[in-house]
Chains A and B, each alone.
Chain A
Amino acid sequence: MAMAEKNGQGRRRSPFSSPALRLTLKTIGSILITMLGLAFVTFVIGRVMPIDPVLSIVGEQASKSTYDDAYAALGLDKPIIVQFFIYIWDVLHGDFGVSLLNARPVAEDIKRVFPATLELATLGTIMGVTLGIPLGVIAAVKRGTWIDQLARVVALVGYSMPIFWLGLMGLLVFYGILGWVGGPGRVGIFYVDMVPTVTGMILIDSALDGNWEIFKNALSHIILPASILGYYSMAYISRMTRSFMLEQMSAEYITTARVKGLPERTVIWRHAFKNIRVQLITVIALSYANLLEGSVLTEIIFSWPGIGQYITTALLSADMNAVLGGTIVVGLIFVLLNIFSDLLYRVFDPRAK
């Protein structure tokens, strides 16, 4: 503004000259381009992969005329690019299409399965963060000691152990033998459909309903799969935390702080840890996003009807509307988490403001 007055140009400022607006537009543009690219790649892969959506619908025994009718009804006789633009046009109108397999709107299916994954991944991430950060900090502070070695082994095991095996062993020991936790599924059979759906997350819905018996039952069912995801998340977060902290602990300002006689606790948490918060945000966001889309195996073992299992089943059955819808939602979550972590950067890092 000052510059404009100084130059005496007196022109009205372009509405796009506001940095905040420019940033917003840039962000929206980047989301749109990313989502369009993601949809295009997924769409093309879906069309060229050697799975036949028509066979999935009409079955192996169908006659040629039945097959051809279904082929045309799916629009597969049109060029891929035309099919893609028809799909995008529908998506822009809020229509993700109908699942080829169960004939339900994909949007409704996603609304049903996504909260299940969100609930599981969120609890897993909370566990991962709650345990992973302190573990990483302790390992860095006690570098080279048995505590550090133990923390590293725990992290390494969590990171390298196949989640499938971990899940089965967890079920066998804590559910099958000890009976400490509920079995597969989100809630006991007797409580199915007994809580009104508000968020789709049973823990929250049962709490909102004041039904603490179902809350307790749901908690007993989610605790094991969430712990397994949490362990995986903890392994990643603690490794990264340790690495970030080691870098900080060897910095000169830490030596200076110690020379000044500051208590060790203050040096660790107020100085070193404060400076790794920004990096940790990215790590946590990535870990969270991975759990949101990558918990397929956990969902299969624990019969958890989440989005990972939904997309995988759809993919194996060539239900491309469901695959595309699910992929777009997961992709959007990734992008939004990135934007969220960017925003937190600005809060925690003065240089980014």
Chain B
Amino acid sequence: MRPFKHIMAGVVMGFAMTLTAAPVAAETPANMLVIANRIDDITTLDPAESFEFAGSDVSRNLYGKLVNFDPMNLSAGYGPDLAESWTVSEDGKTITFTMREGVKFQSGNPVRAEDAAWSLQRAVILNKTPSFILTQFGFTAENAMDMIRAEGNTVSITTDQRYATSFVLNCLTATIGGIVDKELVMANEVDGDMGNTWLKTNSAGSGAYSLVSWKPNDSVTLKSNPDFYLGAPAMERVIVRHVQESSTQRLMLERGDIDVARNLNPDDVAGISGADGVAVDSELRGRLMYISLNQKHPVLSKPEVKEAIKYLVDYEGMQNSFLKGQYVIHQNFLPATYLGAVGENPFSLNIEKAKALLASAGVEGLEIEVGVREAQERIEIAQSLQNTFAQAGIKLNITVGTAKQILGRYRARELDMYMGAWGPDYPDPHTNAGTFAYNPVNTDEAKATGLLAWRNAWGTDGLTEKVAAAVIEGDRNVRAQMYADIQAEFRQVAPFAVLFQKIEQTGRADNVANMNLGGAITAVSYWPITK
């Protein structure tokens, strides 16, 4: 048995040496920010193409824009960034930006008006997924060079018609508005791709940070820009590590191996609440949960039925149970903190009122199908609806499926009812107004699958014109009031019941200050953070 004893002794010694040599509780360095987050949705870091949450987080810290949000004062709305000022022409179609002097890209090249114009032209010409944010102003690959022009130290943007200035400027704060270093990017152009392939995995910005590495499903590493025009960031290095599991993120936070945990579930949030050295922040995000009714359905299109269904949702019950801390009741299509957002939530569970409305519409024994994508919280909401609908005599059949299955039928206007989520594409009210309450051609042939109103075969009862008017209103306050009015009408007549707005709960070491995720309107900013 001697060989066996030798082997066992070796194994035991090996374990003992490893375990005794292992590090004890760590603390991240004072000039480094370490974040655990799910970053497997990043597909590219080119600002002309990036359109995912984790990608937007990275991009916001790499690239300056003509106008931007101040992370320490998000409610102020957009303000100067690489453009220090702007003027609007009398006809309201041309905005001329004056560039800030003395700002440099991280390559050392100066940030010129030519870079700014080229970045926007490039985004239009490349025509990637988020390009609609710019092309909705009438820009095309053919006219981009004429409509977006650099002259000396100014950049002028001419739209195809008059739009609200706030609409145009809000759109320029989106990821696609990132200004790239033309010389550096074009030096890496391959086969006329305007540097798209290279920029997917590299950075060429003037922002607070530059990209050190992006390893898909693993990590993103950023290093600070000491010449950042707002001052060198306190965090010299930011590492975002992909950690899928909430419980793992919690353990790492408690051990001090990370400073911020971005994806804690309610159990883990409850677990660390009150723990020494750890704090939990809650921030409203832009994602909305909603249900919608197909207006091709002969019963669901009745006004009384639409209203009844809004009274058959147990908003409070869900908010205080399985959605606790994750969602808050919100019954309007503009997320709180958006221009024109309102806080009225007039509906609550009222079975008797719903029954009366159904009876007045002559509805009895209604049976409908709801399509739900296979996500736990959505399925739980659908089950709650099934329960409350049943109390009013409506049989709700839940069909759970993948995005392809459910969205395919939703886009083909085949579902009776849809239960899902919607996230704004850019920080302007038109992003949601233009899909929930806008549908100029309500025919099957129009195939406007990008519009939620069209997917539900809803002609919008006159709201389309009001949305079109709001998007060209020049006065910001008047415009905000117009959206408030549209939403008031929408709540009553639309075949949509907006239910909840997302809350993101973040665990952080309590020495991390000025952490701002960007609220509902933008992404996270690392440069103000201190420890």
Contact = CB atoms under 8 A, between A and B. Distances in A.
Interface of A: 50-52, 55, 57-64, 66-67, 99, 101-104, 109, 112, 127, 130-131, 134, 137, 168, 171-172, 175-176, 179-185, 188-190, 192-193, 216-217, 219-220, 223, 265, 269, 300-303, 305, 309-310, 313, 317-318
Contact of B404 (A55, A127, A175, A302): A55
B401 to A, nearest CB: 7
B21 A303 contact: no
Contact of B18 (A52, A58, A99, A223): A223
Contacts of B242: 303, 305
B450 A61 contact: yes
26 contacts: A50-B404, A51-B404, A55-B404, A57-B129, A58-B129, A102-B43, A102-B44, A102-B216, A134-B8, A137-B4, A168-B247, A168-B248, A171-B251, A175-B251, A176-B255, A180-B19, A188-B26, A189-B34, A190-B32, A220-B23, A300-B245, A301-B245, A301-B248, A303-B241, A305-B217, A313-B40
A201 to B, nearest CB: 15
Interface residues of B, number: 64
A309 B40 CA distance: 11
Contacts of B435: 61
B317 interface: no
Interface string B228-245: 000000000001011111
A112 B215 contact: yes
A55 B403 contact: yes
B255 A179 contact: yes
A305 B215 contact: yes
Nearest to B8: A134
B126 to A, nearest CB: 12
B402 interface: yes
Contact of A192 (B25, B201, B221, B243): B221
Contact of B7 (A134, A172, A181): A134
A250 to B, nearest CB: 21
A51 B403 contact: yes
Contacts of A301: 245, 248
Given A57-B129, A181-B19, A220-B23, A50 B402 contact: yes
Given A60-B403, A101-B43, A193-B213, 8 more contacts: A52-B402, A55-B407, A64-B449, A103-B43, A134-B7, A168-B248, A179-B23, A220-B22
B216 A176 contact: no
Contacts of B23: 179, 182, 188, 217, 220
A179 B248 contact: no
B219 interface: yes
Interface of B: 1, 3-4, 7-8, 11, 15, 18-19, 21-26, 28-29, 32, 34, 40, 42-44, 51, 129, 132, 197, 200-201, 212-213, 215-219, 221, 239, 241-245, 247-248, 251-252, 254-255, 257-258, 401-405, 407-408, 425, 435, 447-450
Contacts of B8: 134
Nearest to B44: A103
Contacts of A102: 42-44, 200, 216
A171 to B, nearest CB: 6
B11 A219 contact: no
Contacts, number: 148
A302 B252 CA distance: 11
A303 B243 contact: yes
B200 A103 contact: yes
B127 to A, nearest CB: 8
B216 A50 contact: no
Contacts of B18: 181, 219-220, 223
Contacts of B215: 112, 305
B43 A67 contact: no
Given A171-B248, A176-B251, A180-B22, A103 B129 contact: no
Contact of B449 (A67, A185, A216): A67
Nearest to A127: B11
Name the 7 nearest CB pairs between A and B, nearest first.
A52-B404, A220-B22, A305-B218, A63-B450, A102-B216, A176-B251, A50-B402
Contact of A50 (B244, B401, B447): B401
A63 B43 contact: no
A317 B218 CA distance: 16
B51 A59 contact: yes
Contact of B221 (A176, A184, A193): A193
B53 to A, nearest CB: 11
A68 B197 CA distance: 22
Contacts of B407: 52, 55, 60
Contacts of B219: 192
A30 B336 CA distance: 62
A301 B26 CA distance: 20
A61 B221 contact: no
Contacts of B248: 168, 171, 184, 301-303
Contacts of A50: 401-402, 404-405
A168 B250 CA distance: 12
Contacts of B255: 175-176, 179, 183
A318 B407 CA distance: 15
Nearest to A69: B127
B22 A59 contact: no
Contact of B11 (A131, A190, A223): A131
